[in-house]
Structure 1
Amino acid sequence: MAGLLKRIINTPNAPKAIGPYNQAVAVENTMYLSGQIGIDPATSKLVEGIEAQTTQALKNIGAVLASQNIGYENVLKTTVLLANMSDYPKVNEIYAEFFKTNYPARAAYQAAALPAGALVEIESIAILGEVRTVSPSQKL
């Protein structure tokens, strides 16, 4: 019986895990990215403010994606965790700078607390390899 292949993914271009987890794990052609917060990988420090943290979290996601030669267009699903739901409009504005078209599915929640005192955390699921988008009327 052949099993599925699982690959651990870590890149020095994104922050090191601050717990017993990896930046991402791929099973076959699906990659599950751990939640990213606004830690600057160069300093290992959390950047200040919701805008800077959202931007850095999305850059960190981009670094993990780039380590596998894919980009934001390969992301199928994200979950956004916010310390304060009133930051949702600001996060949406910055999110749209990274996900420009064919947006991934998404959920957003307010959390009681996030790691390292972060204001936002974003996790995602991506597909490895070429992704083509079809029109809504086309069958898959």
Structure 2
Amino acid sequence: MTANNPTTSQRVDSKKAPEPVGLYPHARRVGNLLFLSGVGPRQRGSKSIPGVTLDENGNITDYDIAEQCRSVFDNVRWILEESGSSWDQLVDVQVFLTNMKDDFKTYNEVYAEYFKDNQPCRTTIEITALPTPIAIELKCVATID
């Protein structure tokens, strides 16, 4: 990014967050905004997903939405920090849940723990499925200095 062109886009990849499951960066900086790609609860360098139990065919047999939420929030924090931003600079959070009916209350409680001091705009959407066997994914926008 150059001082003469503040709209130039700069790719940002985290060394702590899980590897993307497709051809996209963890985040992209444009001017003083940081746009995060969808972030799930997976762990870097592992096929395991915190809070998820799979059968031999890769189908979910059980999951803990609170554990997945905490893992997603940690992954978002790592991407923000490695990008030069911070948790307090989040301005918009889109949350995708695969089971709003059963998971919203617990998700909302964990969300309140993490966002007690910083309260960005938020949209929560129920979707049928995500690309990996997870129950939550976040899409975020933050400011960056």
TM-score (norm 2): 0.83
Calculate the aligned-residue CA RMSD, in Å.
Answer: 1.6
* Matches of 1:42 and 1:94, distance apart in 2: 25
Question: Is residue 51 of structure 1 aligned with residue 90 of structure 2?
Answer: no
Identity across aligned pairs (percent)?
A: 26
Q: Report the CA distance shift for 1:2/1:39 in structure 2 as closer, same or farther (over 3 A).
A: closer
Residue in 1 that maps onto 2:88: 73
Q: Report the CA distance shift for 1:81/1:128 in structure 2 as closer, same or farther (over 3 A).
A: same
Structure 1: gaps of 5 or more residues? 130-140
For these two proteins, the number of residue pairs brought into alignment is 129
Task: Please say if residues 77 and 106 of structure 1, whose CA atoms lie closer than 8 Å, have aligned partners that are also in contact.
Answer: yes
One of 27, 34, 38 as aligned partner of 1:35? 38
Deviation (angstroms), 1:98: 1.7
Task: Please say if residues 15 and 44 of structure 1, whose CA atoms lie closer than 8 Å, have aligned partners that are also in contact.
Answer: no
Amino acid at match of 2:95: V
Please state whether the residue corresponding to 2:138 is helix, strand or coil.
Answer: strand
Deviation (angstroms), 1:43: 2.5
User: CA deviation digits over 1:75-99, x for unaligned, max 9?
Assistant: 0000010010021111111112221
One of 98, 110, 115 as aligned partner of 1:83? 98
TM-score (norm 1): 0.85
User: CA deviation digits over 1:41-85, x for unaligned, max 9?
Assistant: 252421122111111011000000110233211000000100100
Residue in 1 that maps onto 2:59: none
One of 117, 132, 135 as aligned partner of 1:119? 135
Please state whether the residue corresponding to 1:126 is helix, strand or coil.
Answer: strand
Please state whether the residue corresponding to 2:128 is helix, strand or coil.
Answer: coil
* Matches of 1:83 and 1:2, distance apart in 2: 40
* Matches of 2:5 and 2:95, distance apart in 1: 35
